[in-house]
Structure 1
Amino acid sequence: MSKKQTSQQDKKPKAEFIFQKRNYLFMAIGLACIALGFLLMSGGGSDDPNVFNPEIYSFRRIRLAPTLVLIGLGIEVYAILLNPHKKKK
């Protein structure tokens, strides 16, 4: 190879993924929080539509589960905006 061909190959930018391992780790944590929130929300219904089940208004379904889903969504946003190339101090 001549010098001209070698210098052209050196100038090509390296293909690199936008997200790194740290981004994917936070994405997995966020997805786990969202899934856990939806699991906690499920259930509490009644087989008979004429019978009221007060369990549907429990703390777990009304407060805890939606909070976990929102926290998971926040973690997902953070994972997307996280810059893995930024130097740690």
Structure 2
Amino acid sequence: MSKKNKKESKPTKEFIFQKRNYLFLFIGLAFIALGFILMSGGGSDDPNVFNPDIYSFRRIRLAPTLVLIGLGIQVYAILLNPNKNKK
């Protein structure tokens, strides 16, 4: 066997994820980060004073929904097969 044949038979290294997977991963991370940012705040400096802002729509419904949507996008990005739609 010559050296040329040995080099040709080497398996090529490929990444598991492609550009499309990473795009969806970053979109999912943005949703999760936005959800956690919207959840923050609403506290009170004085522990003896109650602040009803902690029960606002933004913190109870919107922010956790964004986090769950972001996690769903992450799962989709991991399971996405970018080679399936190539022509």
TM-score scaled by length of structure 1: 0.89
How far off is 1:27 after superposition?
0.5
**In 2, Cα distance between the equivalents of 1:10 and 1:34?**
44
After the TM superposition, which segments of 4 or more aligned residues of structure 1 sit over 4 Å from their partners? none
- 5+ residue gaps, structure 2, are none
Provide the C-alpha distance between the structure 2 equivalents of 1:87 and 1:29, rounded to a whole number of angstroms: 20
| Aligned mate of 2:72, from 69, 74, 80 | 74
1:84 and 1:58 map into 2 onto residues whose CA distance is: 40
- Secondary structure, in 3 states, of the residue corresponding to 1:46? coil
For structure 1, the residue ranges without an aligned partner over 5 or more in a row are: none
Percent sequence identity is 78
How many residue pairs get aligned? The number is 87
Match of 1:48 among 39, 43, 46: 46
Cα distance in 2 for residues equivalent to 1:64 and 1:51: 25
Alignment partners' CA distance in 2, 1:86 and 1:68: 28
TM-score of the aligned structures, taking structure 2 as reference length: 0.91
Mapped pair 1:30 → 2:43: no
1:19 paired residue number: 17
- C-alpha displacement of 1:58: 0.2
Q: CA deviation at 1:88?
A: 4.5
Q: Which amino acid aligns with 1:70?
A: L
Q: 1:19/1:70 Cα in 2 relative to 1: closer, same or farther (>3 Å)?
A: same
